[in-house]
Structure 1
Amino acid sequence: MSGIPRTPAPLVVGVDAGGTGTRCAVVGLDGRVHGRGQGAGGNLRSSTDPARALRRALEEALSGVERGRIGAGHLAFAGAGGEDGARYRELAARAWREAGLPGAPAVGDDLAAAVAGATDSPDALLLLSGTGAVAALYRGGVQAARRDGYGWLLGDEGSGVWLGRQAVVRTLAALDGRGPATALLEVLPRALGTDGAEGSGPAADGTVLARRMVTAVHAAPPAELGRLAPLVDDVARAGDPVADEIVTEGARLLLHTFDSLAGAAGEDFADLPVVLAGGLLTGRTLLAARVTAALRARGTATVPVRDAATGAAALAARTLGPTVPPAEARRLHRAVAGLEPG
């Protein structure tokens, strides 16, 4: 028997494609991560080249991996559950083929991957603030209700793009005398690349600087405003009241969006696990601190997303082989997603 070669256990691929970054993980069923890759934003509406970003993340993660061992894949995109679903499926299938991978990947919404990267509970609440912002209710692993997530133009209140946009708006108001002075004026022109232009220093004519800032914002994809969010956090921490007001309002809006799920969730709204997702709610930000503190004051415990890419991989693992008992399915989920046993 010892001379019979053993077939290596299959590997699964998980991809989390967001507005500002695409992350890929190749994971074994024992939880060992065999490869990771990153690319630029993978959102069809706000990223410059999502196809290239996806290919780069896949190729980087698969470097040194025997591609014939890939048993399944789950690629998660913001907006894949809406009108852009067919385009995302086409994008994913093409990238999968070009990577030389067998079969075809599943394609899903990034929110489900985020939940899977935080808990193995089939019933959960999600509050996300990253490039965009959204809240959702999951029942039996299926999205039962969703609030906001309407994009930078119509919603995403409390998101990174919302924070960045508010910072520019408040800075422009300070420049032309419509609003109070703010230390944001000392950092935003540099972040927007307008500080090196003639007549664009802090002491320059406000109209000139304002025009240059407006031009710079309109010349970049909307998602780029999200990159200003850390500056808002820094300036707020330094004691600037304008930046602090922006963060406070962002936290209030996120909590309002979250609370709007109460009617859909029903009587156990307060008992469901609450998953916090997105860089602004999983990182050490003022926004995260204020949202978490407000939820804690209600007696609501939260669990942050550990890794949405391995969460997507856990969703991929569910499609391997015959149906397994629920207890075994949850054990497998915890292993692949990298969650603590429990």
Structure 2
Amino acid sequence: MVRHVVIGVDAGGTTTRCVAVARDGRVLGSGRGGGANPFSSADPAAALEAALRAALAEAGDVAVDHAVFGIAGSAEAGRPAAEVAMLRAWAAVGLGGRPRLTDDIAVAFAAGSAADAGAVLIAGTGAVAAFVHSGAVAHRCDGYGWLLGDEGSAVWLAVAGLRAALAAMDGRGPGGPLGARLAAALDIPAGDPQAIVRAAHGRPPAELGALAPVVAATADDGDPVAAGIVAEAAERLLATLGAVMAAADPVAAPQDPPGGAVPGPPPRAGAGVPIVLAGTLLARGRLAEAVRAGVTARYGAAPTPAVEGARGAAGLALRDLGAPADAHAALLRAGAD
């Protein structure tokens, strides 16, 4: 018997994930591929195709009714290239119709909440916050890359740690174990500032994000320098979220409801709307705990953790087809188990 499904895709710079989901919210198949960011990935179309093929193969005999692709880098300048890659992959696996393209930010919010509007804070290699409405970003803050922004991200933590290590070596800052631990992680001699400079400049910035756990672990071991860096990262992330919450109030005029009823007020940031936390840095650890506590204290409610982003994309696809929010919510609950 042919089962009807929707497809959800969450494509980042290094990994693409795809799920095939039944209309009641059950995941029937999943797949993975390489990165599909149009700015940084080698072959986005091939990565999307690989993830689609694997998910459809696992799902079996299905008919695809709709799909939503959340692709990192697909906003504004990157949208044409992302759309070309999406449509090439879609055609390559023999599917008809036209899937909907959005970015990974909207998908991250939908991976934590089935609400129509709310905020999301994402911190992994990079960092960004956004207010999302009806499956699209209404307002965003940061996400400008390691050189100009991404404050509180893994790369930001790594660079702050390396700067602190160099300051300790040349007498501008306090000493401690952080420099030696970072040197060990970089496989360079401890106490040699030029070795740190060469190692840092010899790597792509995104790779430096792998040093963030070293900074976090050193903070957990009681080093005040590392602890200060982690605390500052949390404050910067909360400031990024705060800018979004302040700017997105209200975000859109309400639509006229059926039957001529009086429309309700537009969604307002900070007035009971959900706040979703996504990304590896906000999943667990000292930084995640500080951000969760800060959100709860400032907005009066605990934030919601996101599940796998592909489920968020599938939830948006279900909503596009008129499925109730309950199906989307069930999809997220199953992903959290």
Please report the TM-score for the alignment, with normalisation by the length of structure 2. 0.84
Partner of 2:289: 289
Partner of 2:160: 166
Conserved? CA contact 1:13–1:316, under 8 Å? yes
1:45 is the counterpart of 2:33: no
Shift, 1:29, TM fit: 1.5
1:214 is the counterpart of 2:229: no
Shift, 1:131, TM fit: 2.0
Between 1:207-216 and 1:16-25, the stretch displaced more is 207-216
Determine which of 42, 47, 50 is the counterpart of 1:56: 50
Q: Structure 1: state its 5+ residue gaps.
A: 1-6
Superposed CA deviations along residues 272-317 of structure 1, whole A, max 9, x for unmatched, are: 2111111211x11211100111222232321111221111011122
Partner of 2:149: 155
Between 1:299-308 and 1:167-176, the stretch displaced more is 167-176
Determine which of 90, 114, 117 is the counterpart of 1:120: 114
Shift, 1:42, TM fit: 3.0
Q: Structure 2: state its 5+ residue gaps.
A: 251-267
Partner of 1:95: 89
Shift, 1:128, TM fit: 1.4
Shift, 1:84, TM fit: 0.6
CA 1:64–1:273: 2 relative to 1, 3 Å: closer
Which structure 1 residue ranges, 4+ long, deviate > 6 Å from structure 2? Answer: none
1-structure distance, mates of 2:120, 2:128:
8
SS of 1:147's equivalent in the other structure is strand
1:235 is the counterpart of 2:235: no
SS of 1:84's equivalent in the other structure is helix
1-structure distance, mates of 2:238, 2:317:
31
Partner of 2:328: 333
Partner of 2:259: none
Shift, 1:207, TM fit: 4.2
Q: Report how many aligned residue pairs link the two structures.
A: 316
SS of 2:304's equivalent in the other structure is strand
Superposed CA deviations along residues 229-248 of structure 1, whole A, max 9, x for unmatched, are: 22221111111222212111
Partner of 1:111: 105
Conserved? CA contact 1:119–1:339, under 8 Å? no
CA 1:50–1:141: 2 relative to 1, 3 Å: closer
2-structure distance, mates of 1:215, 1:339:
43
CA 1:107–1:247: 2 relative to 1, 3 Å: same
SS of 1:318's equivalent in the other structure is helix
